[in-house]
């Protein structure tokens, strides 16, 4: 049995005190934890990054922090040193939590009043009842004056009627049920927001960084772009970057949902937050801090929480209209019967909570599920539009084909001034500053051939066109033929034979020139994704009727590939500027169009489509512009995205029907005198909370909801 040891060791700088210790557990008192504005979830997560620490629990009320660790001396030393140096200004601020306990106080107060009510005299009972329901009454009056007739007005009338008739128990029970329902609604909604924000929140990491030729360990938020980071087994990658050296198996499950570790080698891209399971990597930081993938995902999610979709706005509008239905029904029944109890019961029927809160919670549930699978859905509108898509347009390169291009040919057009190795070396040296798959393939080829880096001037990046850079007194231009000929006035016509021969084999060409003459061609080849045909078939099963491919390939080759994959329509020999026009043309035909792309020049098409979908390895502009981002280079995630969107909208529809149906039934029961005000309040609030929980948890299991197209496939499979 482990012997507990009690110590009283104090570090005077921040008041840290070790108060209890066992061989695998440490408990400290830390005065700065009294600050309610500390982001305690961040602090716990950050402390858990200490190697050897198994779990951390922070108790701000007791001002203590407890560590479970591996019992190693070096781990204990690391814990003590880190906590001893901790200062308040190093901890981010979070949302204060003092209001949360306050939310339950009115519920508990009303419950206590109900218990004591039978033992009070009538005057005391009346006084305490009106004091207890005063907030509801004032809220109703304020709503009527400032916002018009809303559900708060009907609630106030119903409870006020009960109290005025001396039915104090009924008034207090009804108020208690309303307060309890409101508390549970707020808690459920807050839980959904917290669930989403925590899902891909960038975890703080301690990282080893090269500075002045020495490895130093620093927090990840202090890493600068361009610095070299070393990551070993069991360590988290703190930046988005490129592997410069080493090889490792990397677990990206926290970011992409892919459970199988992937191998990362030289010139592969790595994502912040993924874990090195075996091996060691030396990484050049490309995106750090708030610009990493996980930080941007968290920001997208955070922004989307407060952006209502068309469906949400419609639900709110219908909910407000139902208030007048309730008011009118109550007035009519009272005129016919003169029964105030029926009037009270009817006024307690509230459609609005289930409609107004259930819809956004369903969207948040869908976003959570998608993010867990490695898909970023940017808000409710992205979900509802994706669910309605009947046409998907693929920009072939990087979507139906793999982004891992390879350089197949380096064609020199001016051998005297630009020999092959120099042409490839200088192009790679310039392309190092871009992050597109073409650039990475060229840089990888130069490294494979061990070509030296060529000094050059500042690179000018021309969006959707190419790159320009001074080299040894000249200016080198790299980009598409369209850019070099139409915008720069150069001609590749004398080399038409070579160009056509390369294009005939389906290769992608990058054109290189100076300001005065063409100097070279670099040909790259991509390969068809193994699962492309199955993905397209699965999309058809989900209701996508029209599949389209955009490509710069010649028509004959493009048509052959389309026939192989079962694609309906092909737009071949397309220049980047024409992509958005194709999308507009399809939309003009009445189609609901999604566009899948990965390049900088896909930005206009992503915006023009009803839903823009960016591949994980696409350009930054494409991912920023898109409504949906696939976080892993797997086309099958597109099927998951469409499926989740459809399930979410099905959940919204079923919850809407349930809210209308159940509340209408309750209203009929109240109008016929079958339901008392208390029973009405119980049924209404129970229904609302039940639907909110269903919305929050409805997509937790992919088999939880069965859609109509699922049933059709099941019947076909079983013959029933």
| DSSP character at residue 627 | S
Against a cut of 0.85, is the pTM above it? no
Known active-site residue 395: yes
Q: What phi and psi, each to the nearest 5 degrees, are found at residue 264?
A: -120, 130
**Tokens in use for 302?**
């955070």
Run of H or E residues at 209:
strand 206-211
Q: E strands along 350-421, which residues?
A: 375-377, 391-395, 406-412
Q: How confident is the model over 79-108, as pLDDT tens digits?
A: 888 888 787 776 766 555 444 555 677 778
Top pLDDT among 254 and 417 is at 417
Band of pLDDT at residue 4, cut at 50, 70 and 90: very low
* pLDDT at site 306: 54
Query: CATH 3.40.1110.10 region(s) of the chain?
Result: 406-525
CB 457 within 8 A of CB 430: no
Return the pLDDT at 167: 77
Q: What is the pLDDT of residue 108?
A: 82
Which pLDDT band holds residue 435 (cuts at 50, 70, 90)?
low
The model's confidence at residue 716, banded by pLDDT at 50, 70 and 90, is very low
Q: Which of 98-102, 344-348, 499-503 is least confident?
A: 98-102
CATH fold of 406-525 reads: Calcium-transporting ATPase, cytoplasmic domain N (3.40.1110)
Q: Is 657 exposed, middle or buried (0-12, 13-18, 19+ CB in 10 A)?
A: exposed
Of the listed 395, 526, 610, 627, which one is catalytic?
Answer: 395
d(CA 532, CA 332): 62
Rounded Cα distance, 530 and 527, in Å: 9
Q: What integer best gives the mean pLDDT of the chain?
A: 77
| Pick from 28-32, 102-106, 456-460, 612-616: least confident | 102-106
Residue pLDDT, tens place only, 384-393: 889 999 999 9
What is the phi-psi region of residue 709: left when phi exceeds 0, alpha when psi lies from -120 to 50, beta otherwise? alpha
If you average pLDDT over residues 331-347, what whole number do you get?
83
CA–CA distance, 309 with 363 (Å, rounded to integer): 9
pLDDT (0 to 100) of residue 614? 85
Residue ranges, comma separated, of all CATH 3.40.50.1000 domains in the chain are 375-401+528-630
Of 651, 662, 650, 646, residue with least CA distance to 696? 651
Confidence of residue 370 (pLDDT cuts 50, 70, 90): confident
In this prediction, residue 81 carries a pLDDT of: 80
Predicted confidence band of residue 228 (pLDDT cuts 50, 70, 90) = very high
* Secondary structure class of 216 (helix, strand, coil): strand
**Tokens 């459920």 found at:** 188
Percent of the chain scoring above 70 in pLDDT:
77
**Distance in angstroms (rounded) separating the CA atoms of residues 567 and 234:** 44
- Region 9-90: CATH code: 3.30.70
Intervals of CATH 2.70.150.10 along the chain: 206-291
Kindly tell me if the per-residue pLDDT of 685 is higher than 80.
no
CATH pick for 206-291 out of 2.130.10.10, 1.10.357.10, 2.70.150.10, 3.40.50.10860: 2.70.150.10
Q: So what's the pLDDT on residue 3?
A: 41
Looking at residues 495-523, what average pLDDT do you find? 85
Q: What is the pLDDT of residue 577?
A: 65
Asked if residue 69 has pLDDT above 60, the reply is yes
For the ranges 72-76, 260-264, 517-521, the one whose mean pLDDT is highest: 517-521
375-401+528-630 under CATH 3.90.660.10, yes or no: no
64 three-state secondary structure = strand
Q: pLDDT higher for 470 or 156?
A: 470
Long-range Cβ contacts of 513-517 (<8 Å, 24+ apart):
513/476, 513/477, 513/484, 513/488, 514/474, 514/475, 514/476, 514/477, 515/474, 515/475, 515/477, 515/488, 517/413, 517/414, 517/490
Looking up tokens 């069991």 gives 234
């Amino acid at each position: 049995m482990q012997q507990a040891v009690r110590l009283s060791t104090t570090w005077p700088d921040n008041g840290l005190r070790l108060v209890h210790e066992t061989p695998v557990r440490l408990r400290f008192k830390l005065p700065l934890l009294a600050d309610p504005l500390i982001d305690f979830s961040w602090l716990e997560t950050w402390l858990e990054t200490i190697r050897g620490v198994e779990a951390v629990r922070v108790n701000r009320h007791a001002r203590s922090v407890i560590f479970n660790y591996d019992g190693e001396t070096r781990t204990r030393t690391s814990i003590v040193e880190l906590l001893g140096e901790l200062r308040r200004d190093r901890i981010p601020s979070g949302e204060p939590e003092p209001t949360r306990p306050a939310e339950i106080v009115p519920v508990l107060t009303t419950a206590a009043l109900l218990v004591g009510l039978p033992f009070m005299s009538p005057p005391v009972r009346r006084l305490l009842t009106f004091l207890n329901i005063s907030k509801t009454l004032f809220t109703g009056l304020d709503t009527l004056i400032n916002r018009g007739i809303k559900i708060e007005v009907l609630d106030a009338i119903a409870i006020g009627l009960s109290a005025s008739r001396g039915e104090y128990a009924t008034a207090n029970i009804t108020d208690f049920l309303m307060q309890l329902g409101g508390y549970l609604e707020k808690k459920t909604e807050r839980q959904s927001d917290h669930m989403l924000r925590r899902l891909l929140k960038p975890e703080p990491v301690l990282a080893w960084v090269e500075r002045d030729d020495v490895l130093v360990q620093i927090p990840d938020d202090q890493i600068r772009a361009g610095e070299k980071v070393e990551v070993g087994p069991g360590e988290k990658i703190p930046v988005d970057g490129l592997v410069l050296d080493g090889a490792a198996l990397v677990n990206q499950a926290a970011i992409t949902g892919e459970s199988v570790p992937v191998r990362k080698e030289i010139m592969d891209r790595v994502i912040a937050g993924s874990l090195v399971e075996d091996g060691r990597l030396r990484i050049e930081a490309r995106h750090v801090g708030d610009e990493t993938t996980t930080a941007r995902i968290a920001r997208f999610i955070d922004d989307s929480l407060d952006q209502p979709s068309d469906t949400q706005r419609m639900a709110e509008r219908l909910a407000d209209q139902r208030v007048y239905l309730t008011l009118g029904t109550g007035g009519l029944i009272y005129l016919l019967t003169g029964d105030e109890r029926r009037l009270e019961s009817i006024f307690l029927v509230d459609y609005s909570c289930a409609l107004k809160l259930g819809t956004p919670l369903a969207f948040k549930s869908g976003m959570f599920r998608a993010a867990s699978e490695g898909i970023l859905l940017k808000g409710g509108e992205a979900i509802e539009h994706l669910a309605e898509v009947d046409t998907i347009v693929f920009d072939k390169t990087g979507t139906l084909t793999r982004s891992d291009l390879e350089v197949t040919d380096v064609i020199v057009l001016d051998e005297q001034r630009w020999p092959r190795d120099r042409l490839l070396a200088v192009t790679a040296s310039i392309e190092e500053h871009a992050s597109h798959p073409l650039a990475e393939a060229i840089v990888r080829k130069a490294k494979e051939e061990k070509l030296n880096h060529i000094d050059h001037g500042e690179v000018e990046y021309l969006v959707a066109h190419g790159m320009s850079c001074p080299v040894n007194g000249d200016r080198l231009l790299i980009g598409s033929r369209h850019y070099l000929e139409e915008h720069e006035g150069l001609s590749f016509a004398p080399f038409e034979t070579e160009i056509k021969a390369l294009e005939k084999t389906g290769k992608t060409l990058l054109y290189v020139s100076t300001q005065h003459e063409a100097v070279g061609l670099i040909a790259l080849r991509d390969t068809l994704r193994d699962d492309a045909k199955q993905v397209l078939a699965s999309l058809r099963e989900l209701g996508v009727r029209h599949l389209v491919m955009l490509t710069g390939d010649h028509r004959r080759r493009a048509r052959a590939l389309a026939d192989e994959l079962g694609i309906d329509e092909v737009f071949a020999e397309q220049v980047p500027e024409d992509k958005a026009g194709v999308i507009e043309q399809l939309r003009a035909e009445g189609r609901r169009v999604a566009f899948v792309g990965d390049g900088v020049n896909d930005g206009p098409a992503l915006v023009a489509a009803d839903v823009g979908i960016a591949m994980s390895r696409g350009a930054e502009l494409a991912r920023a512009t898109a409504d949906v981002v696939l976080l892993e280079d797997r086309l099958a995630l597109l099927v998951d995205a469409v499926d989740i969107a459809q399930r979410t909208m099905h959940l919204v529809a079923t919850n809407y029907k349930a809210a209308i149906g159940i509340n209408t039934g309750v209203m009929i029961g109240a109008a016929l005198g079958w339901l008392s005000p208390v029973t009405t309040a119980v049924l209404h609030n129970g229904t609302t909370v039940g639907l909110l929980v269903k919305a929050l948890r409805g997509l937790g299991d992919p088999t939880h909801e069965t859609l109509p197209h699922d049933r059709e496939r099941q019947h076909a499979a079983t013959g029933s």
